[in-house]
Every structure is written in structure tokens, then in C-alpha cells.
Structure 1
Amino acid sequence: MVRENRSYGSGNFGDWITDAHGLPCYEYLCNQTEDPIAVSPVEVAWRSPTDHTHQIGNDRIVAAASNYGYIQVRQDEGGARFLNDYKPDSGFFGAGLGYLSDGEEVLSTYYPGTGKSFDRFFGTGYLRKQTAGKNYSIDQTIYAPFGDDPVLISEVIVSSQSPHTANLSWVEYWGCQPYEFSYQAFADGHLSTPFGTQVIPEEVARLRRELAAGYEHRFERLSASAGMLESKRLLSAPSPHLGVAMQEEVASGSSALPNSSAVQQSSAAGEDALPPPTFLASLDHGPVRCLTDAASFFGPGNVLRHTGAAGPESVLVPAEVLHPAGLGSIVPGYGIPQEIAPDDLSTTGPESALILFKPFILEAGQTQTLRFIYGYLPAGFRVTELLAKYRAQAAGLFAKSCAAWKDEGIQLAVDADPWVERETRWHSCYLRSGFTYDDRLEEHIVSQGQVYQYCIGYQGAARDPLQHALPLIFGQSDLAKQVLRYTLKTQAADGSLPYAMTGHGQIVPNLAAPSDLDLWLLWLASEYILATRDNAFLEERISRWPAATEGQALTVHECLARAYRHLVDTIGTGKHGLLRGGGADWNEQIYFRNLPENLRDQIGRESESVMNAAMGAYILDHYARMLRYAGDLGSARDAQVQAEQQRNAVRAQWTGKWFKRLWLGDSTGWLGADRMWLDGQPWAILGDCATADQRKTLFQSIEELLRKPSRVGAQQLSSPVDWPGVMPGESKNGGVYDTLDGPLIWALAANASVAGPGAAYEEWQKNSRAHHADTYRDVWYGIWSGPDVYCSSQSDHAGQTGFDPGLTDPEARRRPNNYRGLSWTAWPVMNMHRHAWPLYSAAKLLGVEFTEEGVNLAPAIPRPQYRFHSRLLGLEKSVRGYQGWYAPQKEGKWTVRFKLPASEQPLTQQSINGKKQTATTQAEGVIQFSGTSSVEEPLSWSLSYD
């Protein structure tokens, strides 16, 4: 059903609006307890099928905010976990819930379903809930203050519609039972069944909660009646065990899951025995009462009445919010003066929580604001300092935080398409608010998120944060640099990078080690240094983790050289001159799907990746540019030679319509001769591997076989392959990936004269959240965030993400190798590819390419007026022409090469740092000029028609 009068890109779950601070906000309007479109196919051990999640956070803390009104706070120091488990039938309700009572009327900020006034807003960095009753209304906003503090603020505005003065009570609930993202538990949750080895979600969840049950909580009162501090220690942990089926798989070499000894090592050091303490306090004057017994507060009937109406019989879906049974014991009756009873901090088991009771008087028709602070205390943070800081600025803090988000990251505004500005602001917030802090490696990091982090339990693969950091170069470049440091600290002595990390600095073993990770590292490092001109970073020393003496520390320059040598010498090339594929490149599935197990070792030795080679043709050239800028001319020449060798090797794999994908060895031969894989094709264009005629044919093939058939971004495959257990058009059998479509947008923009002047912008739009939400209106996880892959038009589930057939077809569970137990619908949002690539490719729509001398620009947005803004670089187009700026970190003289779109009339005037000159157009519509910048002043310029 299409609901009318909604903003473009709103889908059928709500409406995009602009909030009071001028920021995008999604007003969530769906009643998920009754509307069938709200149900996603998912194993209920992972999540409720009607639970729709929004992300809030800052540089350190991340919270998953539910359409039911609760949140779960993620904390990574000591190992990633949720601090607030959500399992209603066990008495765990997440966090951020509030209850207002006068002794008679009770209002709750947990979504009640039908028949109640309740509004929800997913804002830029916040969750807002509004509800109203007979005499009172509540407006609760939970947000993470902009910056690096591990805290959330709950701001509650209570308004009276009563004709009488009232003695009211507010109860603030934040659960404190953790839920570990234990990779050990995920590994142990692979069990043997009559139909093969499967992930058993119930077993994974049971093991994780069994671990959490081993924590003992300790509570203490904070000074000045502010609130309370909770600390926990692990008294006992489950004995680590490796499933029999996994042992068999590891012994046979048939699994990419970790081997037994590695899992045991991870378990021994990966579980945090003393996590950082948490706290909950009032930021207002006046007394509060502290309680920890959540079981008594909610009572045996729980806070929810459950029904199976909106899903399978086992699904717990709230039909009605019930009053907590213990609320009456702490709230005086109507009209009775408030008296604070003694604290009760005696409950310390799994049933405990942080519960604050705050009494206050509200005059008839008046409004009062209550503020609370929740957080955790990693090393370097003290609760007294945080309380003092946020009490001092509490009143104006939310507005200040919103103002900071408004100025964050890359912003693109297109007058003809007003939704574009909304979307890029949203992406900038989501990307930065996805950061956490790893106290073992002592750097901020942005994981891929989604199922990988929240279900499997690891931060990986290494290539993913390296991609996510690319657009941060334009805004918060220090975070991009920290991602580089984090990655280099995990680099082995031979230059290799680990596939993924888990626990408290534990490496996740992977039997099919990817061969492409060095390329992503060299790309980000080169892009960062060329863009910001921070070549001093090359001399910074990196100590290999977990520890190294000062003498063992290498410079960033040396670490990058080690990665380069690992790529060239260890990964190396095969018989066709292409970089080897090893056991996997970006697309690990094509190395083992539907291939005999006895060939896997041979494939690992002999495979060659056209995708790696095409990437190498561009990235090694870019690395050479950076080395020339840094003055390392000898290494630059070597990298350039290697780039040219890869370029020539790719050219030899032309099929007549596209480039092949992969050489799997003498026994198997070529993959990609009979069908087109998008993997690597854009890189072949960007790396200058295709002749002029080939480029024209390749763009035509991409258009006809991959772009036109898909209603959203370009699909990965021209026709699916026959892979057991992977449906056509899903996952890496023809899905739609931002990681592939981002480079495609870039290639289309860089070749507008061949691909078409509007092709790049059209593809950028097709990959947008707005277009997906407008095309697949009943898919909730396409609106404000999404997974790393969508099902293409080749799939029966187009517009959704991949899920196991067994979730909708019970017979599929009984077919061997057809049911894995983990679907991407288990956590289909908060994948950072969906937010990083639209931002980085927005810069590529302007033709941004950083060089040794400066920056090249070649706009490819076919609109009369638009504005691209970031701290590093800006470009604005108006009816008079273009203007822009470049603001690197160091002063210097920079050359700008501006290529005017072929359809536009020549620009005749230019102004460089305020000095007007006549503009001279060179060959192919290029205008070249130079100017200086300082640390305080950017290089500013304009080009006009008169």
C-alpha cells in the first residue's frame, strides 16, 4: 500500500522531515505490532521480526535504537558487547525506558502498539519518543553528545494538561546485563545436524547469555544524591568448547571458520573479566532514589503482554504495555507529598538494573525538563568529571550537539533534487557515529557493523574500515588517520594483515586468507597523504601490536613499504602476470562455491584475480604519486612499473565485451568468460586497462547487462551461477553492493564523454537510500540504513537482503547445505558501506583526484546549480560559473586542473585568492591555475562566464 503525501524516499514506514535544528529526521509512523509489512524473515534468537533499528552515537559510543523505544548501548573497550541485553521473557528490556506516574495515571516510553498516542522520531544522532495521556505528556530524547565522551543523555520534557498541581514521579530504567558479541560463542554455535553443519542461533545466544550470567554486579551511590555506579566482574565463564562438526571441518580443511587452538586462545584472552563500570545519574538538582532490583520492579507479569499475532508463534510481540508491578511501591498515591525512601542496591545478579526514581512537582499547565546521563568509564574517564561537565552545559547541550552534526562531513546539495542534501547529511552522521574505540590498539575504529559485528561478533574484514575512512579524509581526517594506525598496528612482520579482529584485540584466524588487503591499505594511505598533504605522518612510528620496543617500531613509510613488498613478493603474480587470488579476494565465495574440495589447495596456489590486478593498476599508480610527493622517487618508479605490469596483464583478459574475473588454476580454468561479473570492471577502467574502443564496449555491456536490469544499483552478475545454498540474485551471486557500485559511479563520472554525461549521477541516485525506499516501499531497512548487499531483480526477494530459505520454507531446513541459520535479515542495518560509499562517490561526481601537485576536478553532475562542501575541499556551481576552495593541512602552492563538461560554454574569467585574471582553456576543456594556501586560509578560486 502506497501512503500519499510523503517526502520522496520515505517508503511506507514513516516520513522524512526536517527537525527544529534544520537536520534530517525520519518520523517513524508504522504500527509494527499490526502492520504485516513490518515483519522480516529472521530467526527470533537473533532479533524480533518487527524490531526496526536506528543508530545513534558519537566518536566512541554507539547505541542501537528500536522502534519499540528501547536502546542497546555498544561498548568496545575490553571487547565488543551490548551493555543492555534485550530479552523480555528473561526480564531484560534494553535501556532508555521511562515511566511517569502521579499514583493513578501511568505513561511509559515503551511503544504500546494500538490505541495509544505514541510518536517516534529517528533523528540525526538521536531517538525521540512522544506520548500523551489524560493529564500529562512526555517528550523524551536520547542522544549521544557530539564528541568523544562515552555517554548518552536522556532529556525528558513533561507537560501538564491537568487543572491541578501534581506530585509526579519519573522512573528512568537502564538495564545493565551485558550481551557479549563473543566470536567464541558463534564458533561453538556451529553444530552437527542431520542436514550438515549449521549455525544454531539459539545455541549462540544461549552461550553468550551463559557468559553474561557469570558476571557479578556491584552498585554504589554517587555523591550528592546524583545516581549510582555499577561495576561488574566475571566470576565464572563457560568452559570453551569447539563443536564436533567444526573440529571435523577444520581437520578436513573445508571450513573458513577458525581452528581449534585459535578459538581456545581467543576465549582465554578475548572475554573481559573486568569491563568498564557504567553509571546513571540525574543532571538536575534535587534528590533521586536508586534501585537495582529490576525483577521486583517489573514483577512476574513482566512489562509486556505477549502475542504471536505479527509473526511465528514463538515470536514475542508486545500487544500492550503493562504497568510494572513494582511501580506502585515507589510512587506515592495521587496528591500525596513525595518522600524519598531509602536506596536499595542489594540486588547484584542478572536481574539487576540501573533504576532511578525522581520525584518532582508540576504546576497546572506547566512544563518541566528532566535530564539524565548514562555512560561507561573506560581508562581516562572519571564519573565526577563527566557529571560536572554535563551539568554545566545541560540546558543547551542538545542544540549544540545538533549544530555540530549540521557542520559535519561531506555535504552535497542539488537545487533540482532537494533530497540529496538530506541524504548526504544523514550519511555523514551515520558514518561518524559508527566509530568506537579499541583500547587494546588505542585507536578509534569503524567496523563494518551489521551481521558481521552484531551477530557473528568480529570487526572485519580489514578492507572494510579502510574503505569507510575514505570520505572522512574530507572532514574528520584524524579519524581516517586512526583507522590507518589501527590497521598498521595489526600488520604482521611479513607485511600481511589479519582478516578480522574480535574480543579484546584477538585476531580471527581465516583459512582462506584474502589476497587484496594490502591494496586497500595502500589506497587509503596514499589518498590521505595526497589529499591532506600530511606527509609528516609518513615519519610517525608505529609499534606492532601487541607491543614492541621503540627500536622495533617502524615508520608509517616503512610499514607501507612492507605492505607493498608483501603484495608484490608474497602474493605475487601467476602464469598470466595477474596478482594471485590465493584463497580469496573481495569475493571469497567464487574460490570455493561449487568446486571440489580436493582442488582448494591447488586453487590457492594457482588462482589469479583480475579484480586484484585491475585495482592494482590504479592503486599502485596512486601509491607512486604519493611516494613522488614524499620524495621517495626510487620506490615510486618501482610501484609504477608494477602498476603497468598489472595493467598489461588485465588487458590480455578481454573477452570482447568485458574482462574475465578469475583464473582458478589449470584444473578449473577461467571464471567470467561466459558471464559478466561487475567485480573489477570499474577498476579496469579507472586503472586505464581498457583501450578507447574497449572502454566504449565495456560501458555498453555494463549498461545493458548490469545497470538496466536492476531497479536500484547495478547488479553484480549478468546471469547467476548455480551455487547450492545461494539463491540467484542474492549475496555474491548477483546482488547489489555499494562496494562495487561506488567504483562504478567513479568510473562513469571519469568517462562522461563515453558513458554519457548523466550516467554517473543517475547511478549515484539509483544507489541512494531515497531511491531504494521509493522503489521498494515495504522494505524498512532500505530507508535510513541498510545491509552491505541487496537482492537484485534476478532474485525472488528483490530489494530485500539475503535470507535463508528455511526461514520461510520449513522444507528447506531439511535439505543438506541449504540452511545456514544466519541471514542478513538478522541485523540488516548499520552497515557502514551504505553510508561511506555514497559520500566518497559524491566527491567522485566532481571528478576529485588528488595529485602530487594539487587536485584535478571534472564535474559530472548534470544540474544547473549544486554545492559540495567539506572542510578539505568545496565546489559550488551557479548560473555564473564555478567557485571552490582547497584547504590541506599544510601551506603550499597547489595546481588545480578544472575540466569543464563538454556541454557547457567556455569560462572566460578566473579569480585566484581574490586576484582576477583571464581564464585560458586548454585542450579538452581544461583550465589550469595555481595558488597558495596557508593553515589559516584555503586556496580559494572562481571561474565565471563573464
Structure 2
Amino acid sequence: MSRVGYWDWDHNQFPVYQYTGGYPFYAKDKAGVDAGLPDDPTFLLGNYRATLFAHASGAYELVTGERGWARLNHAGHNKGWNQSSVRISEGENKMSARETSCYCLVGGDDLAQIIKKQSFGVGYACYQYTLAEHLDVTKLISAKPSMELHTGNPSFLIQVTLQNNGASPLTVQYSEEILSHYMMMNDQDAVIPERRVQYRNRVHVDQEQQIVKADISCEPLKLLFFPERTGESYTHDIAPPVLFIKAISSSEVVSGTAARKTDLGDLLCADFETTLNPGEQRTIQFIVGWNFDRAEESIQEQIEDMLTDSKSQFQGELTGAYAHLWRQALPCLEDESDPVLRCEMLWNAYTLEAMATYSQYFRETYIPQGTVYAYHLGENASNRDHLQHALPLMYTNPKLAKSSIRYAMMHSSTDGEIKRQNIGFGYSDPGVYMESDEQIYMFMAVAEYLRITGEYAFLDERVYYYPVENGRSETVINLLVKHFIYLRDVVGRGRHGLIKMLNSDWSDSFFHPYSPNIYSGFAQSHLNTAMALSVLPAFIRELKEYAALAGPTSILEDLIEQAGEYYDEIYAAYMADMEGRTFSPRCYLCEDDEPMLKFGMDTLCIEPQPFLLQVESFPLERKKQLYHEIKTRVLDMEKHGARTREVPLWGSGNAEDGGIWFSHQGPLIIGIASFDKAEAVKLLKKLSFHRFAENYPDYWLGHWTFADVLESSLFNREGLYKGWLKDPFQAFCAHAHAWLLYCYYKVCREADETRH
């Protein structure tokens, strides 16, 4: 068994991870030096309106992405602050108490001595402590799922059960403190003198209602023009929420709320006191949440909603207060006979639902990449990622899948460009990238959505162009026409007939020492071309289905005809380029035929190969030969998946130049399944959390989530993630959860499902 922990099942038959790795966590890499893993392992709770990172130390981060990514209890780079304290007096009340002991349940030097068990399951985090006075303390944090699109309760119910296992009465005081410090992720790297805005609290304590609130406001520190309307895109959030903590009263518990000013900032507090006789147990409850409406009635409705649907706990095993609702929100996989697949696919489905985020600006719900983009930089990047994350939702939550596609579409300009990202409140900054593949990912997502759901009326819906506040809209089908024209005419093709790279395809930084100013005008991407060849036939088929139902129009007929001609042209060009080859090159940066600017000619680069395996007209024998090359050059020698490079191109052998990326593994599984389903399932299982734990038992990241990339055997940090930053960050990445769940449904279950 790994020292990190193990997977189990709770009594609702949901997967639960029993964490045993301790705090602070430390591991060494294969060279015997510090592995650089965050020392406070992280789990994620959430719904469409709220995110909570629950740490092994007991700390939690309150995070919102609704008006831009922000931490509400910010306490430094990628950290939140809260504290739970217990004060114990032996006796029936404080006046007769003989002695007093104090414990801090979050962090601290004595955490290892008092923590008994830590369980992280579907919608909950549970911490169990045993204190010296024979007092057991169980703290359960529960998140309520979003049951309808764009909705959700941005609150967390926290239940603390106190159990006196001693022979004497105990008077127990419990206090929960949270720091109110609103910080947008895209501001957290700026030193104080360079910050453009600050967020101030106006704190109000209502003892009668037992609630304390911090009304947060945004104030400029530099010369700024705030938008006149809160719905306009902007780099900062000018309409932040109210943060609150609400103590739930009980006849057996004295409770109240307070606010305290400290060097950290404003602390919001819920305080409780109760007396426990020997053998007696009692539960106290409070709610931590935030509200963008700010109205008293809205906050009260939010609190009542959390209490109305909660189920009483501590009657046996703990599974969170809303397990019955999570059962409705998640797919039923009871018929899956493989326990590892059943465990991990339920977990993947849960994680995607917990990561999904409603955007006030776009008024759509999507799944962010997470990790360093959303959870550190505050960027929703890139839209190709959001479109990939929509794929499994077409099976598990089609409404959310469609909203995710609409979200990406709303980054479109009137010429068919799809902007890479947004930051702050819907602001699409210029950035440095001119991406060449967003339209191809759009065709992939739309084709799969139509194929799986059969909802062709989607093509008649209207979506807004960016910026949405301008109110200009277009039908989905017309926007797809513009996307095709942009791909054909603006991205264009190079002298070999292959789709150009511009200054980036999937790889944000392939050019390395080569100036994109010089080469982007003619650099060609085999990856883009292979992906287009794998996507366009299915896209055209679904357009024909739509035409048969809705009736042909001239623009639709032209799109079908010209997309087919485009496919024929790039297929002929690709096959000519592949003549005499058993695997595809990666790209040509050259205008002519300079050998030094042709990459992946003699050593294999993984990027285009998975999509080439998916090309319907690529001969079967050549697919088998190509897969043999993949296996022997970049797959079989690796413990987890196929690495990007047989031999590094730039010398480092890490990340894009040799790492193992989930955005390649998923397409590879689908490609293999086109001719060998058993082999595809084998790779799917090789990529599991269980297999990772067998191969890397001392690295916590990989046991219940992954970053976007794992380092391969080419690098001394094999099995670890790319250290994009010097400071730790929350490495939850949707790629692994989305691609593996999508592959599971498409490869393992689709034959048993009825189309549409």
C-alpha cells in the first residue's frame, strides 16, 4: 500500500480516498533530491458557483470563478487561511472547570499526534481527530451539487461532531475562523506597490441572526477607468461578493459570531460552547459562503437551501451531507464489472462536475483547465482545452457539454477567429499567441455533440460574438461557416499543402530559438493537418444529417461541399508527404526545404500520430505499422503513457519536449480503438490513478488527480509534474479527468449505448 493513501468505497458506493500521507508532505525524486511536490496535498470540492480546495493540513481555500478567478481567504501565493480551535475544560461549565487544554486543528506541530483519519469523497472532506482528553472531533465539509445548468449554491456546510469518550464531563468551546481577503489570481503575483486595485471589507456582525459578513468592495490604487456597468469585460472584478459565516443555532449549544482584526486581516468567526457528559455526542453546524447579489433575502435563501437538502450525518459512515443529490448528478456505473474503472470513472465524472464553473460574463458554464492557468494565473485558457473538456459531458451531462461549446464560441470574432483566453471578468487580453487550431477543436466538439445527442436544433441557436456586451449575435451554423473560412483563408496552407501553424498550434512554444516573426508566415503543422483529417469527415456527416432534417440552404450546401473539397486536398497533400514513411513528421518551419527546420523526420514526435490513427481513410495496415512505431519509440518503455519525443528536440527532455501529456493520451486511445479495442482499453488502464500509485507510490500528485503533464523517463523528474512556478500551485487539471472519462464511454460503453 502506498504511504500516500488508498481508494475505498463509502456506504453509498461512491469512491473515497483515504489519505494517510501526513502533513507536511515530503518526497524525493529518483535522483534522491526534493521532488518539489506541494507539502500540503489538495482535494477539490465544488459546484458550478463555488470551489473549495481542501488540504491535508485542514486548511481550505475558498475560490470563485464566477466573475474571474479569485480567492476569498487569500493568505499568500496560492494559499488560503482558516483555523479551527478547540478548548476543553474538565467539568460541566467553565466556572467548575479544573484545567483547560487548547488545540488547533489546522496545521501546527501537533497535527500528526491528533489526526486520526482523513477521507476525501464525492462532495465532502472529512477530518477525524482524537484529543488527549478522550474527546473525538470529526469535521465534515460538504458541497452541494449543481442540479441545474448555471445554478449552484456558493456555500459549504461544515458539521463538527464532538464525542466524549472519557469518564468525566467536558465543557468544549469550538471556534472557526476564516480570513476575509479577496484577491484575484491575476493580481496575486504583483507586489503591493504595483497593484492597480485593492479589495476592502466592510464587516457586519448580526448576533441575533448569528451571522457575520464581509461586504467586499473594489477600489483603485492607480489611475483606472472602471466600467460603467458591472457586466462589461474588465481586467478586475469591480463587483465582488459578500463573504459570510453563519452559525446554526441549537438548544444544546451556545453559539455566536464575531469579527476580529489581526495582522492577517479581518477574521470572520463562528463560536460554539457545549457540555458533554461521558459517552455523549453532539454536532454543531455552520455555513461558509458568499453571495454576489448581496441582498439579505438572497443570503438567507442561500442558507435555507443548504439546510433544507442536507442529510443528518454521523449515523455510521460519513459520506457528506448531500450524497443523495450527488447520486442524481452523476452517472450510474453500477453495471461496470471492473472495480478500478468503476471507481475512477465515477471520480472523474465527479471532479468535472466539481470543477465546472458558471461565468457571469458569458452566462454559460464550462470546465476550466484548472492548474496553473485558472488556479494561479487566473486565465481561462485555452478554448481548445474547454472544448476537450466538453467531450465526456456529451455522455454524462449533455446540457453542460452544450454550454461549454457555447462558452468557447462566444470568444469568436465576426471573421471566425476564436480568441485564446480571457482573464479577470471576461477580458480577452491581446496575448502573444495567434493560434491555428481552435477552429479544428470546435469542429471536433460540435461533431461529437451532434453525433452523441442528436440535437441538431443546436445549430439554429444564436450565440454572441465577443465582446458579448455589444449584443451582436449569430446562429451556430453561420458561425461554424465563419470558422471554416478562417481556417481555410486566414490560417491557410503552406507550400506542401499542409495547414499552417501561425505562431502556435497545440504547442504554445514550439518555435523556441526560431523567431515566429520570421517563420509563422509559412510554418506548417502536421499536427493541425492530421487532426483536421480525423475531424472533418465526422463534422461533414453531421452537417448532412442536419441538412436532411432542417432542409438544405445554399450556405449549408456550400459548407458541406467546400469542407469536403478541403479535406480531399489536405489528405492528398498529407499522403504525398508521408510517402515512404511509417510515422508522420511533426512540422516544417521552413519556407523551402532546409533540413534543420524539419522536425520529427527521423525520430518520432507524438503530437500528430494519434490523430493520424483516427483518419478513416488511412489504410489499416499503415495504422498498425504506425502504432508499432509509437509503441517501440515512445510508449512501451514508459510506466504511464506515451511521451512526446523519442529524442528531445531542444535537449531538455521535459514538458513539451518529452513529457507525457493527457491531451495526447486521449486521442491516442481513440486512434488505437479504431482498429484494436483491447489494446486501447489496455492503455486506458495504464493511465489510471491506481496504476500511477503502483509505479510512483511516494508521489501524491497522480493518486487522485493529475497536472497537465507528467515528466517521462527522459528527465530526472520522471513521474512528477512540470514545475511551472517556484511556488506550489493547485495542480488539479481537467485534461486527465475529461479525456479518460470520454475514452471510457466511447471505447468501453458506446457499443452498449443507443445513439441519440
Using the size of structure 2 for normalisation, the TM-score is 0.88
> Is 1:646 aligned to 2:539, yes or no?
no
Structure 1 counterpart of 2:505, from 581, 585, 591: 585
- Mapped to 2, the partners of 1:677 and 1:93 lie a distance apart of 40
Q: Does the CA contact (< 8 Å) of 2:309 and 2:322 recur in 1?
A: no
Partner secondary structure for residue 639 of structure 1: helix
What is the match of residue 633 of structure 2?
A: 705
- Mapped to 2, the partners of 1:73 and 1:441 lie a distance apart of 22
What is the match of residue 228 of structure 2?
A: none
> Is 1:155 aligned to 2:159, yes or no?
yes
Structure 1 counterpart of 2:664, from 712, 718, 740: 740
Q: CA deviation at 1:232?
A: 1.5
Q: CA deviation at 1:506?
A: 0.8
What is the match of residue 675 of structure 1?
A: 603
Partner secondary structure for residue 655 of structure 2: coil
Amino acid at match of 2:163: S
Amino acid at match of 2:260: D
Q: CA deviation at 1:32?
A: 3.1
Q: Does the CA contact (< 8 Å) of 2:270 and 2:286 recur in 1?
A: no
Q: Does the CA contact (< 8 Å) of 2:534 and 2:615 recur in 1?
A: yes
Q: Does the CA contact (< 8 Å) of 2:409 and 2:463 recur in 1?
A: yes
Identity of aligned residues (%): 22
> Is 1:715 aligned to 2:639, yes or no?
no
Amino acid at match of 1:720: P
Deviates more, 1:661-670 or 1:505-514: 661-670
- Mapped to 2, the partners of 1:415 and 1:430 lie a distance apart of 19
- Mapped to 2, the partners of 1:208 and 1:479 lie a distance apart of 41
Partner secondary structure for residue 152 of structure 1: strand
> Is 1:234 aligned to 2:218, yes or no?
yes
| C-alpha spacing 1:454/1:393, structure 2 compared with 1 (3 Å) | closer
- Mapped to 1, the partners of 2:449 and 2:33 lie a distance apart of 40
Partner secondary structure for residue 469 of structure 1: helix
Q: Does the CA contact (< 8 Å) of 2:533 and 2:567 recur in 1?
A: yes
- Mapped to 2, the partners of 1:125 and 1:399 lie a distance apart of 6
- Mapped to 1, the partners of 2:458 and 2:661 lie a distance apart of 32
> Is 1:217 aligned to 2:217, yes or no?
no
What is the match of residue 377 of structure 2?
A: 456
Q: CA deviation at 1:777?
A: 1.2
- Mapped to 1, the partners of 2:207 and 2:194 lie a distance apart of 32
- Mapped to 2, the partners of 1:413 and 1:658 lie a distance apart of 40
Structure 2 counterpart of 1:502, from 423, 430, 436: 423
- Mapped to 2, the partners of 1:742 and 1:567 lie a distance apart of 24
What is the match of residue 365 of structure 1?
A: 279
What is the match of residue 17 of structure 1?
A: 8
- Mapped to 1, the partners of 2:602 and 2:223 lie a distance apart of 50
| C-alpha spacing 1:547/1:793, structure 2 compared with 1 (3 Å) | closer
- Mapped to 2, the partners of 1:371 and 1:491 lie a distance apart of 46
> Is 1:206 aligned to 2:191, yes or no?
yes
**Which string of whole-angstrom CA distances, capped at 9 and with x for unpartnered residues, describes residues 844-874 of structure 1?**
32384xxxxxxxx3xxxxxxxxxxxxxxxxx
**Which string of whole-angstrom CA distances, capped at 9 and with x for unpartnered residues, describes residues 777-806 of structure 1?**
111101111111111111111111223xxx
- Mapped to 2, the partners of 1:136 and 1:559 lie a distance apart of 63
What is the match of residue 751 of structure 1?
A: 675
Using the size of structure 1 for normalisation, the TM-score is 0.71
> Is 1:788 aligned to 2:715, yes or no?
no
- Mapped to 2, the partners of 1:68 and 1:206 lie a distance apart of 27
What is the match of residue 665 of structure 1?
A: 590
Superposition map of 1:79-478 within 5 A: 79-87=68-76, 94-95=81-82, 97-102=84-89, 104-111=100-107, 112-133=110-131, 134-147=133-146, 148-182=152-186, 204=189, 206-207=191-192, 214-222=198-206, 224-237=208-221, 269-285=234-250, 288-293=255-260, 295=262, 351-379=265-293, 382-396=298-312, 401-406=322-327, 408-409=329-330, 417-478=338-399
Q: Does the CA contact (< 8 Å) of 1:791 and 1:800 recur in 2?
A: yes
Q: Does the CA contact (< 8 Å) of 2:203 and 2:214 recur in 1?
A: yes
Amino acid at match of 1:206: V
- Mapped to 2, the partners of 1:672 and 1:688 lie a distance apart of 23
- Mapped to 2, the partners of 1:61 and 1:219 lie a distance apart of 22
Q: CA deviation at 1:736?
A: 0.5
Q: For the pair shown, which has the larger CA radius of gyration, 1 or 2? A: 1
Q: CA deviation at 1:469?
A: 1.0
Q: Does the CA contact (< 8 Å) of 2:249 and 2:255 recur in 1?
A: no
Amino acid at match of 2:81: G
What is the match of residue 61 of structure 2?
A: 72
Partner secondary structure for residue 372 of structure 1: strand
What is the match of residue 31 of structure 1?
A: 22
Gaps of 5+ in 2: 95-99, 147-151, 225-231, 314-318
What is the match of residue 827 of structure 1?
A: 729
Q: Does the CA contact (< 8 Å) of 2:24 and 2:57 recur in 1?
A: no
Gaps of 5+ in 1: 1-5, 186-203, 241-266, 297-349, 804-820, 849-856, 858-874, 876-883, 889-946
**Which string of whole-angstrom CA distances, capped at 9 and with x for unpartnered residues, describes residues 517-563 of structure 1?**
0111121122112211222222211122434676x421111112211
- Mapped to 1, the partners of 2:144 and 2:587 lie a distance apart of 47
| C-alpha spacing 1:685/1:87, structure 2 compared with 1 (3 Å) | closer
Q: CA deviation at 1:114?
A: 3.6
Q: CA deviation at 1:689?
A: 5.3
| C-alpha spacing 1:209/1:737, structure 2 compared with 1 (3 Å) | same
Q: Does the CA contact (< 8 Å) of 1:61 and 1:436 recur in 2?
A: yes
Partner secondary structure for residue 701 of structure 2: helix
Q: Does the CA contact (< 8 Å) of 2:83 and 2:106 recur in 1?
A: no
**Which string of whole-angstrom CA distances, capped at 9 and with x for unpartnered residues, describes residues 376-422 of structure 1?**
11249811111222333334496662233345445667877422211
Amino acid at match of 1:283: I
Residues matched between the structures, number? 709
Partner secondary structure for residue 113 of structure 2: coil
Partner secondary structure for residue 698 of structure 2: coil
> Is 1:555 aligned to 2:555, yes or no?
no
Q: CA deviation at 1:235?
A: 3.3
